[in-house]
């Protein structure tokens, strides 16, 4: 009875297709609905060691069909960021931007203003962060007039399920301020909750039980409450860590999350392409 109580199962509160092939074909063949935009651009933000780089490794593994570890990662939420600059990783038609993690303290980790500038397209690739001096329009590397093709199309927040309770309010506040700034310019946002196997033994043994796990549901609720992210925009995922071979069920979780950010980014591009088109038409009328 105690064992049953510990591994409490709920009625399945979200469904997922546990066959990776159709999900993979769907996302790989997805066409961008905006002329002139060459790739979907996603920026990952979150605490240092939350699993941002590992998410890129995992998605790369899904696409390559073999274990991929070229994107260097930190081993745990140590409080020190492993990534020190804007790093771009292209996977098919998807571009993922990895950045220095957020840390407690005013001059530690990436400055929130740098992430906001990156979302707007002002920060170039390989820009090296200076926690005490965020990039601004007076910086020679600053991109003054970013195009839709150079802006971020979806902001992906990353939170580790087993550390959410311990993340300092200061870091959470930084993430919320970044989300607020992204909302003000209409950038869609999704949250990936990593390390789900570390908070639920039932899920660790059988990942297909993830949407029946009371513990996982509690952690998703906690993420929603602390960051203000709607529940249907939070996706629990497991990154490749101990595994050295592809795992179909693990792939399915990541493909579900990836599909959501692709659709969100595409909706954003369609909306803003229409705005740009209408602006151009008005300018033509004025010119005439």
How far apart are alpha carbons 94 and 263 in whole angstroms? 12
How far apart are alpha carbons 107 and 286 in whole angstroms? 48
Q: State the pLDDT at residue 201.
A: 92
pLDDT (mean) for 243-250: 88
Residue 243 has pLDDT above 60, yes or no: yes
Q: State the pLDDT at residue 67.
A: 78
Q: How confident is the model at residue 35 (pLDDT cuts 50, 70, 90)?
A: confident
Q: State the pLDDT at residue 277.
A: 55
Q: State the pLDDT at residue 117.
A: 96
Q: DSSP states of 116-163 as a string?
A: HHHHHT-SPTTPBP-TTS---TTSTT--SS--TTTS-SEEEEEEETTT
Query: How far, rounded to the nearest angstrom, does the alpha carbon of residue 27 sit from its chain's CA centroid?
Result: 16
Q: For each of the domains in the chain, give its residue range(s) and CATH number, in order of start.
A: 23-287 (3.40.50.300)
Q: CB-based contacts of 141: which residues, under 8 Å, 6+ apart?
A: 123, 124, 127, 135
Q: In what order do the strands lie in the sheet with 154-160?
A: 87-91, 94-98, 40-45, 154-160, 189-194, 234-236
CA angle (176, 93, 239) in 5-degree steps: 55
Q: What is the mean pLDDT of the chain?
A: 87
- 0.85 cut: is pTM over it? yes
How far apart are alpha carbons 25 and 259 in whole angstroms? 11
Residue 284 has pLDDT above 50, yes or no: no
| 193, 159 contact by CB (below 8 A) | yes
176 vs 280 pLDDT, higher one: 176
Tell me how crowded residue 80 is: count the other CB atoms within 10 A of its CB.
13
Q: State the pLDDT at residue 71.
A: 53
Residue 125 has pLDDT above 90, yes or no: no
Phi, psi (rounded to 5 degrees) for 44: -100, 130
- H or E segment and range at residue 190: strand 189-194
List Cα–Cα distances, 192 to 133, 162, 285, in angstroms. Answer: 29, 13, 45
| 201, 210 contact by CB (below 8 A) | no
Q: State the pLDDT at residue 280.
A: 47
pLDDT (mean) for 266-282: 72
How far apart are alpha carbons 58 and 247 in whole angstroms? 10
Query: How far, rounded to the nearest angstrom, does the alpha carbon of residue 14 sit from its chain's CA centroid?
Result: 20
| 50, 196 contact by CB (below 8 A) | no
Residue 276 has pLDDT above 80, yes or no: no
For 126-171, the pLDDT digits (tens) are 888 887 889 999 999 999 999 999 899 999 999 999 999 999 999 9
Phi, psi (rounded to 5 degrees) for 189: -140, 140
Residue 77 has pLDDT above 60, yes or no: no
Residue 4 has pLDDT above 60, yes or no: no
Residue 42 has pLDDT above 70, yes or no: yes
Segment among 157-171, 217-231, 237-251 with least mean pLDDT: 237-251
């Amino acid at each position: 009875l105690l064992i049953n109580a510990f591994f409490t199962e709920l009625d399945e509160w979200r469904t997922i297709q546990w066959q990776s092939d159709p999900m993979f074909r769907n996302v790989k063949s997805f066409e961008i609905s905006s002329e002139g935009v060459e790739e979907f651009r996603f920026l990952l933000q979150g605490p240092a060691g939350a699993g941002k780089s590992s998410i890129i490794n995992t998605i790369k593994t899904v696409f390559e069909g073999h274990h991929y570890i070229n994107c260097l990662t930190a081993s745990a939420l140590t409080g020190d960021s492993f990534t020190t600059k804007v790093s771009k990783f292209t996977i098919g038609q998807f571009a993922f931007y990895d950045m220095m993690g957020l840390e407690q303290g005013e001059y530690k980790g990436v400055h929130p203003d740098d992430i906001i500038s990156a979302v707007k397209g002002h920060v170039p690739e390989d820009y090296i962060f200076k926690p005490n001096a965020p990039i601004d329009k007076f910086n020679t590397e600053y991109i003054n007039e970013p195009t839709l093709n150079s802006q971020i199309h979806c902001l992906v927040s990353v939170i580790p399920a087993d550390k959410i309770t311990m993340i300092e309010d200061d870091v959470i506040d930084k993430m919320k301020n970044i989300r607020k700034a992204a909302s003000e310019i209409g950038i869609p946002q999704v949250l990936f909750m990593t390390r789900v196997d570390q908070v639920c033994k039932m899920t660790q043994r059988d990942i297909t039980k993830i949407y029946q796990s009371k513990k996982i549901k509690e952690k998703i609720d906690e993420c929603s409450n602390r960051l203000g992210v709607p529940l249907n925009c939070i996706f629990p995922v497991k990154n490749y860590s101990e595994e050295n071979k592809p795992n179909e069920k693990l792939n399915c979780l990541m493909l579900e999350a990836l599909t959501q950010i692709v659709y969100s980014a595409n909706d954003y591009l369609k909306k803003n392409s229409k705005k740009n088109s209408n602006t151009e038409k008005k300018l033509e009328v004025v010119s005439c």
